[in-house]
């Protein structure tokens, strides 16, 4: 019977200092080192990789040959106009292993495939109210959409290495969705595993995480320039979610359930929240709260699930200068800024990125958010907090999900292709 840990996906092995390195573990480390040097250095030659990595040219050449043989790296023609005998530039193979991402939200699910270079090769959004359906019904529909994406990928010569799912709820480190407040009945669901079972094509790995975490990873890997390594990505759709990145790594908390910024208290005497507490940020700056305070009749919906719905309603009211809407956004921005300032004071990240609905409403939220950050962040005078808007739009989470598969291979290629550890 297949081990449960193995079924949840290949995880990075912890390195114990009590165990001496052998030839295989050293080769495993060096394969990852060379592959990441190629991925992050922009078409380096073998000689340049040796310089970056500190390995000998002969060692690099041997490892590159192994990576090329595994279909992870390609060697191109030397750039023209260079003096002497220029080396051939190396790059990730776009025909290498690809990642499948699926996002399940309250009023849509989406599917995305990214190739080994991180480029999006397939993307589709299917709108529909998932709040009125069982988890099993939604997962079956998502599986059919994923199968269509896999068929197109096969037609392009892509092999899918694994599946990652983004969901709007509390997901523990084992990938179990413990609770999704805006998806009734979604409790203790192994979303990634169940979706893999429903997809009729074999999938080597499956995982699941909170959609805010996946959106933050997309910002880390595919976001603006210069790339950020320490930041909080905050988005508001139906709820309010935050993904925290420190040192280029996603921070999930000890149990994987951290980052619930939407349930930070901002108004002690504020309205009751669905979580059972009072005065949560979500009750001031969540979409339902915004619509209610602005007097908008539309039902809360995501921009992807209902492009002509509540998000557009708020935007049109704000653009028209509606006094009530502008006051609502001012209050929401102040509450959001206060919650973010508390997070920055605790964690010390130097940047905040607005995503989702907040990216759309950034022209009205930026000033009150920044005012609170300046006032409340104790270190602001010496270490200002930068505020920016994500360029990734509503598909950030599903793209981040697909990217986790590819990134796992970049971090430890030998875990996916153990034959690379064989030496002649």
Q: What distances in angstroms separate CA 390 from CA 203, 312, 381, one per listed residue? A: 31, 18, 25
Residue 6 has pLDDT above 80, yes or no: no
* Same domain, residue pair 266 and 316: yes
Q: Is residue 11 part of a domain?
A: no
Q: Is residue 81 part of a domain?
A: yes
Using an 8 Å Cβ cutoff, are 124 and 423 in contact?
Answer: no
Residue 226 burial by Cβ neighbours in a 10 Å radius (0-12, 13-18, 19+): exposed
Q: Is residue 340 part of a domain?
A: yes
Per-residue pLDDT tens digits for 274-288? 778 888 999 899 888
* Same domain, residue pair 235 and 344: yes
* Same domain, residue pair 372 and 251: yes
* Residue 44 φ/ψ region, left for φ over 0, alpha for ψ in the -120 to 50 degree band, beta for the rest: beta
Q: Is residue 4 part of a domain?
A: no
Q: Is residue 416 part of a domain?
A: no
Residue range 111-133: mean pLDDT, rounded: 93
pLDDT of residue 424: 53
* Same domain, residue pair 239 and 259: yes
The CATH number of whichever domain residue 129 belongs to comes to 3.30.420.40
* Same domain, residue pair 252 and 119: no
Residue 16 has pLDDT above 80, yes or no: no
Q: Is residue 14 part of a domain?
A: no
Residue range 114-130: mean pLDDT, rounded: 94
Q: Which residue has the higher pLDDT, 73 or 22?
A: 73
* Same domain, residue pair 250 and 333: yes
Q: Is residue 424 part of a domain?
A: no
pLDDT of residue 20: 56
* Same domain, residue pair 155 and 266: no
Query: What's the domain range around 81?
Result: 19-94
CA dihedral 230, 389, 336, 306 (to 10 degrees): -130
pLDDT of residue 311: 86
* Same domain, residue pair 90 and 109: no
Per-residue pLDDT tens digits for 83-112? 455 678 999 999 999 999 999 999 999 999
Round to whole Å and give the CA distance between 59 and 79: 24
The overall average pLDDT reported for the chain is: 88
Residue 423 has pLDDT above 70, yes or no: no
The CATH number of whichever domain residue 70 belongs to comes to 1.10.10.10
pLDDT of residue 62: 93
Count how many domains the chain has: 3
Residue range 346-356: mean pLDDT, rounded: 94
Q: What is the pTM of this model?
A: 0.88
* The last residue of a domain, from among 94, 115, 142: 94
Helix axis angle, 323-347 to 310-319, nearest 10°: 110
Per-residue pLDDT tens digits for 375-420? 999 999 999 999 999 999 889 999 999 999 999 999 999 999 899 8
Residue range 293-311: mean pLDDT, rounded: 82
């Amino acid at each position: 019977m297949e081990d449960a840990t193995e079924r949840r996906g290949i995880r990075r092995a912890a390195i114990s200092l009590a165990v001496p390195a052998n030839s295989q573990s050293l080769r495993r480390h060096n394969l990852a080192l060379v592959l990441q040097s190629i991925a992050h250095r922009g078409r380096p030659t073998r000689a340049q990789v040796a310089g970056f990595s500190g390995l000998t040219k002969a060692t690099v050449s041997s490892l590159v040959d192994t990576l090329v043989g595994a279909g992870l790296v390609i060697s191109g023609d030397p750039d023209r106009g260079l003096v002497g005998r220029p080396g051939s530039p190396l790059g990730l193979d776009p025909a290498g292993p690809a990642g499948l991402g699926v996002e399940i939200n309250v009023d849509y699910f989406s599917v995305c495939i990214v190739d080994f270079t991180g480029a999006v090769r397939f993307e589709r959004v299917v709108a529909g109210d998932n709040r009125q359906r069982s988890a099993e019904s939604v997962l079956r529909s998502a599986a059919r959409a994923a199968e269509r994406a896999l068929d197109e990928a096969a037609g392009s010569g892509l092999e899918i290495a694994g599946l990652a799912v983004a969901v709007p709820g509390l997901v523990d480190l084992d990938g179990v969705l413990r609770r999704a407040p805006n998806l009734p009945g979604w409790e203790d669901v192994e979303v990634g595993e169940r979706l893999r079972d429903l997809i009729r094509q074999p999938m080597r790995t499956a995982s699941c995480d909170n959609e805010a975490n996946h959106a933050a990873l997309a910002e880390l890997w595919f976001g603006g320039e210069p790339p950020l390594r320490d930041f909080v990505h905050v988005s508001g759709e139906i709820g309010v979610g935050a993904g925290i990145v420190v040192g280029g790594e996603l921070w999930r908390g000890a149990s994987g359930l951290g980052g619930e910024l939407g349930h930070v208290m901002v108004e002690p005497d504020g309205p009751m929240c669905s979580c059972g507490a009072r005065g949560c940020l979500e009750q001031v700056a969540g979409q339902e709260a915004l619509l209610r305070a602005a007097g908008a009749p539309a039902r809360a919906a995501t921009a992807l699930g209902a492009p002509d719905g509540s998000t557009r309603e708020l935007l049109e009211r704000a653009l028209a200068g509606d006094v009530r809407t502008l006051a609502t956004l001012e209050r929401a921005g102040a509450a959001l800024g206060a919650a973010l300032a508390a997070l920055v004071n605790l964690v010390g990240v130097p940047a905040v990125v607005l995503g989702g609905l907040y990216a759309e409403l950034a022209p009205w939220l930026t000033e009150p958010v920044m005012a609170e950050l300046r006032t409340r962040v104790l270190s602001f005078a010496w270490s200002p907090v930068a505020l920016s808007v994500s360029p990734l739009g509503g598909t950030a989470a599903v793209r981040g999900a697909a990217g986790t598969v590819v990134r796992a291979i970049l971090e430890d290629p030998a875990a996916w292709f153990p034959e690379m550890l064989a030496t002649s």
